[in-house]
Each structure stands twice: as structure tokens, then as C-alpha cells.
Structure 1
Amino acid sequence: MKLRAGSSSASLSDSTRVRLPVRVASWLLDRPLLGQTQSAKRVAGHLLKQPARQGVVLAQSRLGQLLCRDCGNSRDRRIGLDLLRQAARAGDPLAQLEFGRICVESGRGEEELARHWLEQAAAQGSSEARRLLGRLSTRS
């Protein structure tokens, strides 16, 4: 049986090429000991970069979290926040939670923005988002 260039198997390999780096990066970051090492975070960041640029929401979320938590310079942190915002808008509950948490902790009067994203995450079942919303309500 011959495969044609326009067949569905060609597009399947394209989606596999995008998913595989995201799966490997997630596996690296989710290992308890391995995921805490700088080398594993660096490799995961490189694996997530291209899929995040292509609009893969999970890659945007994971890379955004990585850049916001583990990078010391303001440029990487700003890129991480932008990636988290994109993933949060796409409906990723972990990105919504993380973006809301960063807004809460920023101390720059972003309570309404934090409340919005935490409510979105809580609506998708995040108990951590509910806890942060409660803490945010006691401040007001």
C-alpha cells in the first residue's frame, strides 16, 4: 500500500513531532528528584520552546511556569508571564492558577486581575485557587 503525501498519516507525524517534546519535557519536570535539577529544567525549557511558539497550550503553560519560577532575569520572567497569560486565556487551569498566584504575590495592586484568574481556575476544580481566593478576600 502506497501512502500519499496528502494523507492523514503525514499530519499525524506532524502532530507527533509537536507532542513528543512536550511529553518528554513534562516527564522530566514531573520527576521528583530529576525535575528539580537545573540541567533537567534547561533541557525541558529547550524542548518546550518551539511547541509554545506554535501555540501548544500545555507547552505555553509549562514553559511559562518554568520561566517565572526559575529564571532570575526580568526578560525571561516577562516572557514567562506572557506565556502563562496566553495559556490561561486558552483555558488551562494550571496556567490560570499560576498567573493568579503571581498577581496576588506581586503586591502591585493587581487584586482584580488575580481574582479573575483564580475564579477561572476554581471553576475548573482547583482547590488551591479557592484557598487563594479566600486569602484574597480577607485582605480586602
Structure 2
Amino acid sequence: MKLRGKHFASPDASPALPSPKRFSLKVALWLLDSPRLGDKPSVKHLAGRMLKQPARQGVVVAQSRLGQMLCRDCGNARDRRIGHELLRQAARAGDRRAQLEFGRLCQAQEPEQARYWLELAAGQGSQEARRLLRQWFPA
């Protein structure tokens, strides 16, 4: 039997289906942004596992969200250090949330770095970054 079009066995036979990586990223972000689910530790753990691979591959939003989770919700220094690095990478790539969070993290030890990242986030429209700049660095 001859089928028209592409063979079903070819790797690009169904371009309309989302890739598993993109799907897991969207599900993880949905879980974290869900008002009822996003604060539960088990949901955060699952979302973190789903964000891990896209973050390793350089997906900026995955780096940003996973970095925030690791810095805020993890108790050990290794995870916080990894989260700090992920936030730095996402901030350098232009993610406003990451720039804001990275600025907060830098404030205690490196205030000039904090100012730099907060100014970048404020330049992208972050009201919270503007508020922190006025609070921490009055003119």
C-alpha cells in the first residue's frame, strides 16, 4: 500500500505535534503559575525536574524559573549556587525576571552589581526593580 506524503517512520513526519521538551517546559510553567498548585512543594519538585533539561540546553525562561526556585526554595548551598548561576545566565540573556532576582541576590555582597541588574530590569519595565533602586540607591 502506498501512502501519499511523508512516511510515518520518518523523524519529521508529524511537525504539528509539539516536541516533548517544549511540552514539558509549558507544563512546568503552567504548574508553577497555577494559583492552587504553584506553592506546593511536590509540584515545585516536579516542575523543577521538568525545567532541568531545557535549562541545560540554554532555554532562557527555563534557566530563569529553575534558578529562582533553586535560590528561594532549596536548603543546600550546592543547589543555591546552581540557581545563582542559572539566574546569571538568564539575566545576561535579557530575562527581566532573572535580572530582578539576580539584582536582589547581589545586593548584600556586590551592591554595584545589584544596581546594574536592577537598572536593566527597570529599563525593561519592571516596577519592582524601580522600587528597589529608589529604596537601596537613593539619588
Gaps of 5+ in 2: none
Hey, what's the Cα distance between the residues in 2 that align with 1:102 and 1:35?
22
**Aligned counterpart, 2:81:** 78
**Aligned counterpart, 1:96:** 99
**How does the TM-score come out when normalised to structure 1?**
0.87
Q: Which has the higher helix share?
A: 1
**How does the TM-score come out when normalised to structure 2?**
0.88
The amino acid that maps onto 1:118 is L
Give the percent of matched residue pairs that are identical in Structure 1 and Structure 2: 60
Among candidates 25, 29, 34, match of residue 26 of structure 1: 29
SS in 2 for 1:36: coil
Hey, what's the Cα distance between the residues in 1 that align with 2:76 and 2:11?
44
1:2 is displaced (CA, Å) by 2.8
SS in 1 for 2:125: coil
Among candidates 57, 69, 78, match of residue 60 of structure 2: 57
How many equivalent residue pairs?
134
1:31 is displaced (CA, Å) by 1.3
**Aligned counterpart, 1:3:** 6
Q: Deviations over 1:88-126 (max 9, x none)?
A: 00000000011001112xx22x11100110011000000
8 Å Cα contact 2:6/2:13 also seen in 1: no
CA RMSD of superposed structures (Å): 1.9
Larger mean Cα displacement after TM superposition, 129-138 or 51-60: 129-138
1:18 is displaced (CA, Å) by 2.2
After TM superposition, the structure 1 = structure 2 runs for residues 115-126 of structure 1, keeping only pairs within 5 Å, are 115-126=115-126
Gaps of 5+ in 1: none
Q: Deviations over 1:62-110 (max 9, x none)?
A: 0000000000000000000000000000000000011001112xx22x1
1:136 is displaced (CA, Å) by 1.6
The amino acid that maps onto 2:96 is P
Q: Deviations over 1:32-89 (max 9, x none)?
A: 2211111000000000000000000010000000000000000000000000000000
After the TM superposition, which parts of structure 1 deviate over 2 Å for at least 4 consecutive aligned residues?
A: 1-10, 15-18
